[in-house]
A and B are shown apart, each in its own frame.
Chain A
Amino acid sequence: MTAVQDAPVRAAVPPRQRRRRRGVPPLVWAFLLLPLAVELFWVFWPAMNSFSLSFTSWNGVGAARPVGFENYQRLFTDPIFLTALGNNVIWAIGFGGLSVAGGLALAVALNRPGRGVGLYRSAIYLPMVISLAVTGLFWRVMYQPGGPIDVGLGAIGLGELQQQWLANPDTALYAVLIAAVWRQVGYIMVLYLAGLKGRDPSLEEAAAVDGANAWQRFWKVVMPQLRGVNTVVFAVTVIDSLRTFDIVWAMTRGGPYNTTQLLSTYMYQQGFTLVNLGYGSAIAVVIFLLALAFIITYLVRQARAEEL
């Protein structure tokens, strides 16, 4: 975390101005403290409350009953929680893997400007501005029996694959995942397009002169230069996976038979539908702990990039 440590900045300011600026004016303190107070009250204070709530049993009425680690012990024997945890792993790998593969491939294909490239890019960005809830409804329509997915499969001779995509416990999670990937690819492509723009083309020319083919140039010369983007993409993907809620809620609400339950949807059901505030908070704390390492990765990277 060296990048975060204090180091004198703006040392080049002439002494006269530095003296004038040393005392921070009261108005500037107000400028800082007002937003900070809002964030402390609505973000950090609730977050800390979740920790203390997770050690209680509470249905929202009367006083919360302290139960120690009971909620956490219960998690390990709760089959729905374990399903949700497993689904979240599948989700992080599938959602992350597919959107990175798609976004990177498209960024490489659409990197150089040319006729039509702007249109292709816009088309691929477009799903990203549609909300996850609406994306979920769009794809619910797509997956309906007799809908375009089934009709399309029939048209290319794969009619035997037609099924109730969202009602079948074997396919529901993957059906939702595809919809989420459709929306995410554009975002990943934006990140990689920026990364590709920032690379040094002379390195590739040198590699080409040395006889490296396009495939080798990409993996040995371009990819190492995208390391920074890869870190951001990796952290963002995992954090997003753990947060994923809307699209599952819109498409399946965790069903059928909890087969599409993710940690976030199960947490919402426990906390809000069943009003098990203590148990719901324990799941929320687990989500936080799983995200923590990736949050730190992202912060360190940001601090470095901004040369803080």
Chain B
Amino acid sequence: MRRSPLFHAVMIPFTLLWLAPIVFVVLVALREFDDIAARGLGAFPASLTLEGFATALAGGKLATALVNSAVVTVCTVVASLALAAIAAYALSRYRIPARRTILLVMLAGNLLPAQILLIPVSRIAQGIGIYDTLFALVVVQVGFGLGFYTFVLHGFMRALPSEVFEAALLDGSGPGRTFFSIVLPLCRPALAALAALATTWVYNDLIWAMTVLQTDTKFPITAALLNLQGGYSNSWNVIAAGSLVAAVPTAIVFFVFQRHFVSGLLVGTGK
């Protein structure tokens, strides 16, 4: 469909302005500290260097933090989706008593403001001896996200054609085999959408890390970045470089899985 030139005349500058903060942070990250100090933050780079990135990754311990984030994100996403898938399967394909109520209560758990969980979660983690471990960060995020993923997968599994299940039943397939060999493969699109979404959510988390972790070598990238901000408070090139390091993985997930990502955002809204 053709658009009037006016449409593009408005949208092109608008889009550029929209992306300006990102472009600007890239420019700052590539400048030398002395250049920023001498000519001000708003000036165009005089020379380009990767010094800011090197300092952020090594001195700011962001390299360790990226590994922590990767471990936590992969474990959380896999465990959340696995648990959500089995719960959704039970609720959508079997006559569990009060299953609608169970499903809505599970979803409600995900809508609670995290603030009401923080203090007790921190105490419980201390009580069972997992405080200040990545394991604690994984389990608490699995628990908190489960309701939403279960709700979405439930909607998807309920819509699967019942002929498939009747055929499986006639073949003598038990509930476990039906789940693994029929339901999971059919749910791939929904799982992909949720995985893209969950990856960004878990990777971007800050509040849970601040609740169950204490030692800075265990921090995921978001928490490590705020520490970096304290340690290099006037080295804007280092802070900008660190922020970009933190932003790049989710940006990659977004560009590779854009379609999944957008459909993932919609599945939870009843559309």
Contacts and interface: CB of A to CB of B under 8 A. Distances in A.
Nearest to A32: B90
A157 interface: no
B166 interface: yes
Interface string B93-109: 01110101111101111
B200 interface: yes
Given A43-B112, A114-B2, A190 B121 contact: no
Contacts of B54: none
Contact of A47 (B40, B86, B116, B271): B116
A150 B42 contact: yes
A21 B21 contact: no
Nearest to B150: A35
Contacts of B225: 133-134, 137
A284 B206 contact: no
A130 B87 contact: no
A24 B236 CA distance: 60
A21 B118 contact: no
Contacts of A27: 174-176
B128 to A, nearest CB: 10
B45 interface: no
A299 B266 contact: no
B113 A264 contact: yes
A115 B270 contact: no
A31 B89 contact: yes
B200 A295 contact: no
Contacts of A131: 203-206, 222, 246-247, 250
A158 interface: no
Contact residues on B (Cβ < 8 Å of other chain), bracket = 35 or more
A141 B269 contact: no
A190 B1 contact: no
Given A123-B19, A131-B222, A109 B270 contact: no
B119 A53 contact: yes
A232 B119 contact: no
Contacts of B1: 112-114
B96 A24 contact: yes
Interface of A: 4, 6, 10, 13, 17, 20-22, 24-25, 27-29, 31-32, 34-36, 38-39, 41-47, 49-50, 53, 60, 109-110, 112-117, 119-120, 122-127, 129-134, 137-142, 144-148, 150-151, 182, 187, 190-191, 194-195, 198, 228-229, 232, 236, 239, 242-243, 245-246, 249-250, 263-264, 267-268, 271-272, 277, 280-281, 283-285, 287-288, 291, 295, 298-299, 301-306, 308
11 contacts: A6-B98, A6-B100, A35-B87, A46-B120, A47-B116, A112-B1, A129-B254, A130-B250, A137-B225, A187-B265, A284-B118
